[in-house]
Amino acid sequence: MILHELLSYELLRVIWWALLGVLLIGFALTDGFDMGVGALLPFVGRTDVERRVAINTIGPVWEGNQVWFILGGGAIFAAWPPLYAVSFSGFYLAMFVVLAAFIVRPVAFKYRSKRDSANWRSIWDWALFASGAVPALLFGVAVGNVIQGVPFHFTEDLHTIYEGVWYMKFIGLLDPFSLLAGVVSLAMLVMHGGAWLVLKTEGTVQARARAYGAVAALVAVAGYALAGVWLAYGIEGYRIVGDYLTDGPSNPLHFEVAKTATWLTAYSARPWIAVAPALGILGGLLTFLGLRAGREVSTLLFSKLAILGVISSVGLTMFPFIMPSSSDPGSSLTVWGASSSHLTLFIMLVVTLIFMPLILVYTAWVYKVLWGKVTEADVTENSHSVY
């Protein structure tokens, strides 16, 4: 209990805000290249053998990578209950589409090679494409909506009310800025998938992955830069006004929130956070150069650097907000007003400190065992393999 007393409520809130970011970044770094390979599948693989090569680079690891998505959802549920309630309610239809895509993916992996039919396999290959491209796009769209603010408010008893009719919960997400964010997300993960295929394949598949990945890297960097300019001149930000407690009770309505001219005021208050967008742009450009030069390991690392910079820039720019409300700024969710209790966060941290290293060690061991390239000879000599 001494440790519990040393870790203040304020500190635990910041730790879990950071851990949520780590889980989301971990998901993008691992399952991100799975989605990227899926989105690239019809383009890097022109024959059944070439597509099987691409599929076999991710087939053995995608299930483990998707665990990060589950961990992120669990962390939101346990550490940030109001965020879980608002996001899974307001983004319900979008979440349904993402989950449907994730359900289709394992079915496609298991079924595509069950019949030696070109039409049969083509159907499942396009299913793999959709299960990669659609979530990659929608995750970015969701981030774009969060940056602009989500139309919800709380009643006095903290009952969540989401504005608008049911079909607008999906159509309303597709505004121009959010679609741009979706394009950045999709291009970034396609870049990551291309870097992964360059590392894991050779020959024609590798050459095509290098070409498409390089284009995606440029699109991601250009789209990210454009989004930054749009954020500076066309998107209102949010700020807490007046005095407030960082270790007080978790009640969003205890904070007075007002809109401000731009989110970029955060960079004048905390100049060091400019490192994040700089890493996003630098990582994307280095990935482009690495793909063009034919480098493999370093290119994948640069791609990871770009993802780290892009995702962390969103969280650092918005801090302490985690989901602002566009219809009622006073209902906005912040790090200080939307967390679970002090004891809950402490117990979760202890559990995380025990099991997270085990997950990381196991993941590293799996990738070490599976290190090496997938070749056409590998898949043709194992014609009855699962993938």
- The whole-number pLDDT of residue 386 equals 56
Which string of DSSP letters, residue by residue, matches 233-270?
HH--EEEEES---SSS---GGGSEEEEES-TTHHHHH-
Domain limits for position 28: 2-154+187-380
Q: How many domains does the chain have?
A: 1
Q: Is the dihedral of CA 25, 29, 30, 33 positive or negative?
A: positive
Please answer whether residues 41 and 129 qualify as being in contact, where contact means their C-beta atoms are separated by less than 8 angstroms: yes
Q: Give pLDDT tens digits for 140-161.
A: 999 999 999 988 888 888 888 7
- The whole-number pLDDT of residue 193 equals 96
What is the pLDDT averaged over residues 159-168?
A: 68
Q: Quick check: is 7 in a domain?
A: yes
Please answer whether residues 68 and 32 qualify as being in contact, where contact means their C-beta atoms are separated by less than 8 angstroms: no
Q: Quick check: is 302 in a domain?
A: yes
Q: Quick check: is 164 in a domain?
A: no
pLDDT of residue 359 exceeding 70, the answer is yes
**CA pair distance 387, 363, nearest whole angstrom:** 21
Please answer whether residues 50 and 44 qualify as being in contact, where contact means their C-beta atoms are separated by less than 8 angstroms: yes
Percent of the chain with pLDDT over 70: 95
Which string of DSSP letters, residue by residue, matches 169-192?
HHHTT--HHHHHHHHHHHHHHHHH
The answer to whether the bond into 320 is cis (omega within 30° of 0) is yes
Please answer whether residues 54 and 199 qualify as being in contact, where contact means their C-beta atoms are separated by less than 8 angstroms: no
Q: From the centroid of its chain, how far is CA 232?
A: 23
Q: Please, how many CA atoms are within 13 Å of residue 353, restricted to the half-sphere of its CB?
A: 8
The pTM for the full model equals 0.93
Compute, in degrees rounded to 10, the torsion defined by CA atoms 64, 65, 69, 74: 40
DSSP state of 329: G
**CA pair distance 323, 147, nearest whole angstrom:** 8
pLDDT of residue 1 exceeding 60, the answer is no
**302 vs 74 pLDDT, higher one:** 302
Percent of the chain with pLDDT over 90: 58
Q: Quick check: is 162 in a domain?
A: no
Q: Give pLDDT tens digits for 68-122.
A: 888 888 889 999 999 988 888 878 888 889 999 999 999 998 888 888 888 999 9
Assign 167 to helix, strand or coil.
Answer: coil
pLDDT of residue 385 exceeding 80, the answer is no
- The whole-number pLDDT of residue 110 equals 87
pLDDT of residue 239 exceeding 60, the answer is yes
**CA pair distance 169, 194, nearest whole angstrom:** 33
- The whole-number pLDDT of residue 167 equals 55
**CA pair distance 329, 323, nearest whole angstrom:** 10
Q: Quick check: is 203 in a domain?
A: yes
Q: Quick check: is 385 in a domain?
A: no
Q: Quick check: is 165 in a domain?
A: no
pLDDT of residue 166 exceeding 70, the answer is no
What is the pLDDT averaged over residues 191-214?
A: 95
Pick the range with the lowest mean pLDDT from 27-31, 251-255, 302-306.
251-255
Q: Is the dihedral of CA 9, 80, 236, 278 positive or negative?
A: positive
Location of structure tokens 């892009």:
310
What is the pLDDT averaged over residues 298-318?
A: 96
Q: Quick check: is 209 in a domain?
A: yes
pLDDT of residue 241 exceeding 70, the answer is yes
- The whole-number pLDDT of residue 5 equals 67
What is the pLDDT averaged over residues 217-242?
A: 92
- The whole-number pLDDT of residue 261 equals 76
